[in-house]
Chain A
Amino acid sequence: MLTPTELVALRLSLQVATIAVACSLPLAIFVAWLLARFDFPGKTMVDAVVHLPLVLPPVVIGYFLLVLFGTKGPLGGWLYETFGIRLIFSRSGAALAAAVMSFPLMVRAIRLALEAVDRGLEAAARTLGATRLDVFANVTLPLMLPGIVSGCIVAFAAALGDFGATITFVGNIEGETQTLSLAIYSLTQSPNGDAAALRLVLISLTLALAALFVSEWLARRVRRFIGRA
């Protein structure tokens, strides 16, 4: 049904998006918690930085990543020399670009869910002998679950679809960094690539619809789980 090339691009896309979401989730929860619950100097700044990927052209984000995480960049150089990790032109780099691009969407969804959590329930839990950490793990987090789930799905979809930051940072290497979007772009650039591009477009469409349905289904299950149904 799918050609080997298509399969490679599809698998790569799913892999990159999954890694991006999984790795940024803990950080997103932490940042959402910071922004929702605390007032600290520089909060506006943190908020703005988190939202930059939403307002900057993706190619600019890709450029920043290149500067920071290139093998000569301050972070990339350290990673390369200490651990031998090279992000540039690699699959991990693609995941990093996707994570950065989808991060604001994830933080927003989680922050909204966190702000909707009834703090009275947290106070009640503490009067019942739960420490702050205990309350967060056993009351706050479960109640935020709908937001976490929808945040992850939106971020997953965004990660699947990123183009600009990815191509700028990790290039367009088949089997390594060529995700579905990049593959579609490549095909549209080559003569007689239209039919093949259409097939990939249909795959993308299916993926997007599937994500939406899964999201709906999960949200309903989670709502029932936390007793809001």
Chain B
Amino acid sequence: MSPSDERIQVRARKRLGDFLFTCDIDLPASGLIALFGASGAGKSTLINLVAGLTRPDEGRIAVGSRVFFDGTADVPIEQRELGFVFQDARLFPHLTARQNLMFGLKRAGRRSRTLRAKPDAVIDLLDLASVLDRRPHTLSGGERQRIAIGRALLAQPRLLLMDEPLASLDGPRKAEVLAYIERLRDEFEVPILYVSHSVEEVLRLARTLVVLKSGVAVAAGPIDDVLQEPAVARLFPAIEAASLLHCQIRAHDERYGLTALEVDDGVTLRVPRLELAPGTSIRVRVPARDVALSLSRPADVSTVNRLPGTVTALEILDATHVDVRVRIGGRVPLLARVTREATERLGLTVGLPVWCLIKSVALDRATLMLGQKPPATLSCVPASSPPAANDAQAESPR
């Protein structure tokens, strides 16, 4: 069974005082899976249940073909073949950095001959060669956390668990360790369960997202899908509600400095020139706020992108705003955030044909991550930062 076929299944109930944790998730065990939520939402409970540090009242926990917990089995922590990186590195103070690194490896080596993570590769990946002979108390916070990550990785885990590994580090150290986690995610095949309450970390690292709220897993799945859910989007104030569109570069218009993107048969977006070859697949984000609706074909407006579509759903967000889902072309879903006043004035209802005016189109961060690694500021696009740098705006100022 290849790692990508394996799944992480956690169906568990656990009462901790007044707090009742319930969760039922089933995720592919691959890439970095972020467990996101406010403090007290049950993120750490979930990860501790998987590790065996907390025992569920009832349920079933399995990773791949191994059942860790069910009615009859409760596999001891040390036999679960996991790696755990704690918020406070938890290095053994009586051992050197090297001995810390080898702690799990020595014990895993007794289990099997073949090593998935080799010491040299891990030391190299995390740049640990220069600190190997030092004691933990002489290391910086970032170095300590890197040793802890290497130690967990060298234990030859089937799954790496990380419980807010950056939370106790200051800004520069955080950036340092974050970059290493990114490398680790890309260079080792081990799936990672990553607990975080930081939107930035989640956006930068995760491919799969589980959102927890008051002990309940409210959403789980590929990050882009989960972020589309309005209930989840509200938890990410830094991310605007937006539509993600898959498209291909069709042609460049040299005269006006525009690039045409084909979203679907007959649906074309035009954006400021992108230096990408025709045929390249990219993903773009269309912020819901930047989509205006019109009942008639808009002729005398400056907006370049005007697309016909049909209203498929309406959701009242608050006293002022309504999210309108529109299908453009045959099947492309687009989200428009308009005022409630406009909704009533235009008489928007499901099934009504409308014209969408798209004021801006931004390259999706996942697109930016393909190929060459972008500079750190580009790989993380919380929309709260000034968007000008990485938005390919189709119109003059928003």
Contact = CB atoms under 8 A, between A and B. Distances in A.
A227 B135 contact: yes
B197 to A, nearest CB: 20
A43 interface: no
B386 interface: no
B51 interface: yes
Interface string A112-137: 00000010110111111111001000
Given A124-B84, A128-B107, A129-B111, A228 B93 contact: yes
Given A120-B86, A134-B107, A227-B136, A128 B94 contact: no
B269 interface: no
Contacts of B161: 127
Interface residues of B, number: 30
B182 interface: no
A8 B63 CA distance: 68
B152 interface: yes
A221 to B, nearest CB: 12
Instruction: Determine which residue in A118, A124, A145 has the highest number of CB atoms from chain B within 10 A of its CB, and name it.
Output: A124
B86 A129 contact: no
Interface stretch (B75-83, B288-296, B362-370): B75-83
Nearest to A227: B93
A209 B76 CA distance: 49
A118 B88 CA distance: 12
Nearest to A128: B104
Contact of A124 (B79, B90, B107, B108): B90
Nearest to A126: B77
Contact-size category for A: 20 to 34
B51 A127 contact: yes
A151 B114 CA distance: 45
B51 A125 contact: no
Contacts of A7: none
Interface string A129-157: 11100100001001101000000000000
A227 B138 CA distance: 9
A139 B107 CA distance: 14
Interface string B135-161: 111000000000000011001000001
A16 B80 CA distance: 48
Dominant secondary structure at the A interface: helix
B92 interface: yes
A226 interface: yes
B103 interface: yes
B161 to A, nearest CB: 8
A127 B157 CA distance: 10
A18 to B, nearest CB: 26
A118 B93 CA distance: 11
Interface in A133-186: 134, 139, 142-143, 145
Nearest to A124: B90
A225 B96 CA distance: 10
A135 to B, nearest CB: 8
A98 B95 CA distance: 36
B148 to A, nearest CB: 8
Contacts of B78: 126-131, 134
14 contacts: A123-B53, A124-B86, A126-B76, A126-B78, A127-B77, A127-B152, A128-B104, A128-B151, A129-B81, A129-B107, A129-B108, A131-B78, A142-B94, A228-B137
Interface of B: 51, 53, 76-84, 86, 88, 90, 92-95, 103-104, 107-108, 111, 135-137, 151-152, 155, 161
Given A129-B81, A129-B107, 6 more contacts: A120-B86, A128-B84, A131-B76, A226-B94, A227-B135, A228-B137
